[in-house]
Structure 1
Amino acid sequence: MRLFGYARVSTGQQSLEIQLKALKDAGVEEHRLFKDKATGSHIERSGLEALRQKVEQGDVILVKKLDRLGRDTADMVNLIKEFSNQGVSIRFLDDGISTEGAMGKMVITILAAVAEAERARILERTNEGRLEAKAKGIQFGRKPSIDSAKIKQLYEAGMGATEIAKQMKIGRSTVYKLLNCK
């Protein structure tokens, strides 16, 4: 039996270190660690694909948490089936569950469905909050671009950089930067 580890974070700004440390502490060797910095909403991930190619019958894959393997219930069930058909089991360290045995597979399927439902509720609450904020007049997105022609016009009319910055609601350094570029 060989131990493999899989770690995933959703964005490049997040760190894999906590997951990787837990996997190493559980006995996974460095060269058997597979990782992704990608969303868990689909299974087309380079680290997961490499892991799928590497494991063989009798191997065990360790994952820190259930949602690190994936978020979509159908994908999770298919991955578990795929690994199970290869004779590979999966253990989730924080959840204390494993695909070894029928009961473990059932529990994982249920937990994956719960994780997917929770993700849907989070998105729903986020969208409700965004709509409420818009109704209150809060604007989203990039700030409008700076009218450099107006800045130049104000400067040529004798207005100082500090006053231009206050009027245009921008930094004084931005005023100087735009004036030097023109």
Structure 2
Amino acid sequence: MRKFGYARVSTSQQSLDIQVSRLKSEGVEDFRIFTDKLSGKQFDRDGLNTLLVKVEKGDLILITKLDRLGRDTLDMIKLVNQFLKLGVHIRFLDDGLSTEGATGKLLITILSAIAEAERTRILERTNEGREAAKRRGVKFGRKRSVDRSKVIDLFNSGIKASEIASKLQIGRSTVYKILKESLNSNDIK
């Protein structure tokens, strides 16, 4: 039985180091660890696809957590079944789960459904909180750094958008955006 490892983070800014280190401590050799820096929602992942090609009957894949394999319950079930059809088992180290028995496969299916439902609830609560904050007047996004009145004054004095952009060291598109917003609020003469 050969051991393989799979590690995934959702963005390129996140580090795989902790997962990879854990896989190595479980006896997985460097060249048998496959990684992705991509959302678990994405089913087509280079590291995962390569892993699917490399494993053979009797191999074992180690993954630190259930959600590192995928986010969507149907995709998780599909992936687990793909590996099982190849005769390959998966062991989730932190969750203490494995597809090596019938009960493990059932638990993985149930837990991935629960995890997906929890992510949906978190998203709903986050959106509700954001909407409540907007109603209270909280502004989101970065603070404006361009003096909008200066852009409008320069434009009202006859200076063209390209010259304003150059003079204020901002993009022409920013000048046009400010002018468009100002036109709607009747700041432009």
- Fold conserved between structures, TM > 0.5: yes
Give ranges in structure 1 of 5+ residues lacking alignment.
155-177
Distance in 2 of aligned mates of 1:32 and 1:90? 14
From the superposition, tell whether residues 138 and 180 of structure 1 become closer, same or farther in structure 2 (CA, over 3 Å).
closer
Equivalence for 1:136: 136
Equivalence for 1:172: none
Give the conservation status (yes or no) of the 8 Å contact 1:42–1:75: no
Shift of 1:181: 5.1
Equivalence for 1:35: 35
Q: What one-letter code is carried by the residue in structure 1 that aligns with 2:130?
A: R
Identical columns (%): 61
State the SS of the aligned residue for 1:34.
strand
State the SS of the aligned residue for 1:44.
coil
Distance in 1 of aligned mates of 2:116 and 2:148? 48
Distance in 1 of aligned mates of 2:113 and 2:31? 32
From the superposition, tell whether residues 150 and 102 of structure 1 become closer, same or farther in structure 2 (CA, over 3 Å).
same
Shift of 1:149: 7.6
Q: What one-letter code is carried by the residue in structure 2 that aligns with 1:126?
A: T
From the superposition, tell whether residues 181 and 42 of structure 1 become closer, same or farther in structure 2 (CA, over 3 Å).
closer
How many equivalent residue pairs? 159
Equivalence for 2:55: 55
Cα deviation per residue 1:43-69 (whole Å; 9 max; x = unaligned)? 111111111111111110000000000
From the superposition, tell whether residues 104 and 181 of structure 1 become closer, same or farther in structure 2 (CA, over 3 Å).
closer
Distance in 2 of aligned mates of 1:148 and 1:132? 28
Distance in 2 of aligned mates of 1:180 and 1:129? 37
Let me know the Cα RMSD of the aligned residues: 2.2
Distance in 1 of aligned mates of 2:168 and 2:34? 50
Give the conservation status (yes or no) of the 8 Å contact 1:42–1:72: no
Shift of 1:41: 1.3
Equivalence for 2:20: 20
Distance in 2 of aligned mates of 1:146 and 1:92? 50
Give the conservation status (yes or no) of the 8 Å contact 1:34–1:48: yes
Shift of 1:142: 4.4
Equivalence for 1:118: 118
From the superposition, tell whether residues 129 and 36 of structure 1 become closer, same or farther in structure 2 (CA, over 3 Å).
same
Shift of 1:143: 3.8
Cα deviation per residue 1:51-95 (whole Å; 9 max; x = unaligned)? 111111111000000000011000000000010000000000001
Equivalence for 1:45: 45
Equivalence for 2:80: 80
Distance in 2 of aligned mates of 1:149 and 1:134? 25
Distance in 2 of aligned mates of 1:42 and 1:120? 17
TM-score by length of 2: 0.77
